[in-house]
Amino acid sequence: MALLTFCYFSFIVPYLALIRIDVNLLFLLFSQIIALPEQTDIKLEIIGQAASNPNWAFFAPHENENVVNHYVSKRIQDKGGVFVILRQQGERLIHLNIEPFTVRIDPNRIFTQAGRRKNIIKLNPKLRENTYVFHRAMRRSASLAQLILNALGGKDNSRTWVAIHNNTQGFRGDDKQGIGDISIHLYHKKLTAGASFLAAVSEPVSDEDDLFFVTEQEDYAAMQRDGWNVVLQHPQVIKKANEDDGSLSVFAQKNGIRYINIEAERSTASFGENHFELQSKMVDYVLERLQAKLIQQVPSHSQTRH
Ligand SMILES: [Zn+2]
């Protein structure tokens, strides 16, 4: 208030401008930036805080998949919890600068040791494993994973992780010029082909690219019942070495943490559309489910034995 009064009498700015200053100031107080100590251009934008109840942590690992980020930030401001956005150059991949090389990594493939190794090998085919650069890239990937996990509140399994992603229209090989590899139709093909990371895939409804990917049977059943596209990860991913890709969903399953990924279509080079409205509804739907669980957990009088 003192600051606002100071602004008003010092600069005589219009009233509406004062409101805007106030809102921005509140947002700044509500968000913080944390840099990776080993490479400070890799940053986490943290909105809210994991320590604040209610118990959910949202995470956006791919910086170019940001259709609904602003909306999620607003919801977290209203409802509590934390939203972590990974930032570097606005791209999907993170670039590790390990002189004189640049090592590319997918930040959603760094949460297990095996995943980090596969990730570096796949995206940097010329980099040999028994080199100093490879080892440093492994260590830096691990350090980034730890920074993210700390921001999400650690491995406390009373907290639900909600991932925010966007994907491209259709999928590669769909005979409709589709690109990418996320679609409820493609998950059906993979399930039919015997993919061991899948337990169940719902019957396709509405747009094939808008879907939930979850680890809990209960979420799968409810989302299917409520008319969404939904995919259930198979719990055997934690036992099968070839399914350990280092993604947050596999790491969540290993640690008994409830995980919900909210996927929706985005426009890519003018192909497809940003499904902002639909993805906002998916965010609200998830928040309602998470809040309902909180309410259930509060013991009520009717349950008390007399
Ligand atoms: Zn993504």
Q: Find how far residue 102's CA is from the centre of its chain.
A: 25
Of 59, 64, 35, 30, give the one whose Cα is nearest residue 47: 30
Going by the DSSP 8-state scheme, the letter that residue 204 receives in this structure is: P
Residue-wise pLDDT for 25-73, tens only, equals 555 568 999 999 999 999 999 999 877 777 999 999 999 999 999 999 9
Computed over every residue of the chain, the mean pLDDT equals 89
Q: How far is the CA of 20 from the centre of ligand 1 (A)?
A: 32
> Which parts of the chain are beta strand (E)?
31-36, 39-48, 56-60, 82-87, 94-98, 101-105, 160-167, 198-201, 211-214, 230-233, 259-265
With beta carbons less than 8 A apart as the criterion, state whether 188 and 204 touch. Answer: yes
Residue 2 lies in a domain: no
Q: What is the pTM of this model?
A: 0.86
User: Residue 98 to residues 111, 134, 139: CA-CA distances in angstroms?
Assistant: 20, 9, 11
Q: How far is the CA of 99 from the centre of ligand 1 (A)?
A: 28
Q: How far is the CA of 8 from the centre of ligand 1 (A)?
A: 44
Q: How far is the CA of 165 from the centre of ligand 1 (A)?
A: 4
Residue-wise pLDDT for 245-279, tens only, equals 999 999 999 999 999 999 999 988 888 899 999 99
Residue 62's contacts (CB-CB under 8 Å, 6 or more residues apart) are 86, 92, 107, 108, 165, 166
Domain total of the chain: 1
Q: How far is the CA of 92 from the centre of ligand 1 (A)?
A: 7
What CATH number is attached to the domain comprising 63? 3.40.630
Range of the domain at 105: 30-296
Q: How far is the CA of 10 from the centre of ligand 1 (A)?
A: 47
Q: How far is the CA of 111 from the centre of ligand 1 (A)?
A: 15
Q: How far is the CA of 180 from the centre of ligand 1 (A)?
A: 11
Residue 305 lies in a domain: no
Residue 23 lies in a domain: no
Residue 212 lies in a domain: yes
Residue-wise pLDDT for 112-141, tens only, equals 999 999 999 999 999 999 999 999 999 999
Q: How far is the CA of 61 from the centre of ligand 1 (A)?
A: 7
Q: How far is the CA of 100 from the centre of ligand 1 (A)?
A: 28
Residue 25 lies in a domain: no
